[in-house]
Amino acid sequence: MQDLELCYEGVNFYDGSGGRISRGLESSYNNETYSNITDFIEFRKNLKNSLQRKCTHRCALRGEAFEPGNQAEIVEKWVEANVDAISYSDEALEEKLYDNRDVGVMSLLTPVEMTKWNLEILTRPTPLPGSAWIAVYSIIPQIMHYIATSNVEHVETLSKKLLMVADDAGNSLSNQDHLLVRGVYQIAAIYSRSVDGSQSFDEQLSELVDTISEALTVEAPDADSSETLAEMASTTVRNATVATEIYIYACSARYVLNKQRSPSAKAVTLAISQLRKSSLAKMSALRSLLNNHMRGSIDKNWATSTATFDVPAKFMLSKRKYIVDGVAKSCFSGWSRSVKNLVQLWEQWS
């Protein structure tokens, strides 16, 4: 997947910078430009302790679950994964981690009191991430690691912490973030209760199936195609992606239960198998919706009818139609590629 490849490029940049910085230090020493040495040392420290580096590594770890391969290989990656908690308190961000963006050259001239005209806010697909976002994507890989290594105590502790972080975060997390948290919490509960043996997990298993099924709901387009288009852009494809991620995590947990010869593994396997069958039908419906309806709708309804975008929309359609066509083509291609990849994952994981 292209998005995952970009993530890996980020990982390679951060991890490969150490060697280049060392060569820069050596060159500065040989050329007797000693004033540069302290700059290189500080730069190396900033990169090594970069908040972006931590988050990029964690996103790459999540992305590896989407790579082709058998379940044994995926679970082994979770076993070997470095899932040390990311420090996300104010003190940690001030003293231990660095935000290396140069805000001095990224000016935003919109007056602070005119928030509704702030293009950065208007064009964001999700809310601005806060420390809760970092916490969530620090804890989820930890939970999967401890499921893979059969550490029930850590799974229970971290799943409760994950739910508490999400509840406290409220709207600072997107709907998709909350959906992922709910699904992972349910998987952790199923695993813990299955290993325990004395507790029923039927309710949690039913809730997990409902979480994934509801996220994959695909509505037939109505007369208001612009509303359908907005829903597709902001919710439908993202929900399908998160549902697929939850499903893959559930498959990994099921594999671990089977490997442990848990008596509960059979019931979990049956539920996941039935879920996969119904979900594949929904993913096919989503693919058909894209191919049969969305391509034409993007050309006609690429801008909303709100007053905020009315003037620029008319200008672009009348004077820069080629730009609109390019955006429409890229938008549709991105959605189509994403859904195609998701369908392949549902077909691969059984």
Q: Considering just the CA atoms, what is the radius of gyration of the chain in Å? A: 23
H helical segments located in the chain:
2-30, 35-48, 51-64, 71-80, 90-95, 119-122, 131-148, 152-169, 175-196, 202-215, 225-231, 237-259, 265-289, 295-301, 307-319, 321-348
Phi, psi of 173 (to 5 degrees): -105, 145
| Per-residue CA distances from 257 to 149, 190, 205, 264, 328 (Å) | 11, 10, 14, 8, 45
> For 107-142, what is each residue's pLDDT tens digit?
555 666 666 666 666 666 555 666 788 888 889 999
**295-317 confidence digits (pLDDT tens):** 555 555 554 444 445 555 666 66
Band (pLDDT 50/70/90 cuts) for residue 158 is very high
- Mean of per-residue pLDDT scores for the chain: 77
pLDDT band per the 50, 70, 90 thresholds, residue 77: confident
Is residue 50 classed as helix, strand or coil in its secondary structure?
strand
Residue, of 229 and 157, whose pLDDT is higher: 157
What pLDDT, on a 0 to 100 scale, did the predictor assign at position 92?
Answer: 56
Split at pLDDT 50, 70, 90, the class of 230 is low
| Per-residue pLDDT reduced to its tens digit, 45-63 | 777 777 777 777 777 777 7
Q: What is the pLDDT of residues 211-224, one digit of tens each?
A: 999 888 776 555 44
Question: What whole-number distance in Å separates Cα of residue 209 and Cα of residue 272?
Answer: 8
Using one digit for the tens of pLDDT, what is the confidence trace for 251-293? Answer: 999 999 999 888 888 999 999 999 999 998 888 888 887 776 6
The string over 182-221, giving b where at least 16 C-beta atoms fall within 10 Å of a residue's C-beta and e elsewhere, is bbbbbbbbbbbbbbeeeeebeebbebbbebbeebbebeeb
Summarize the confidence of residues 172-183 as an average pLDDT. Answer: 90
Q: Please give the pLDDT value at position 210.
A: 93
> Does residue 154 have a pLDDT over 90?
yes
Cβ neighbours of 174 (radius 10 Å): 19
Between the two ends of the chain, the Cα-to-Cα distance in Å is 20
pLDDT on residue 115: 65
Contact 55, 136 (CB under 8 A): no
Q: Alpha-carbon dihedral of residues 295, 300, 304, 305, nearest 10 degrees?
A: -160
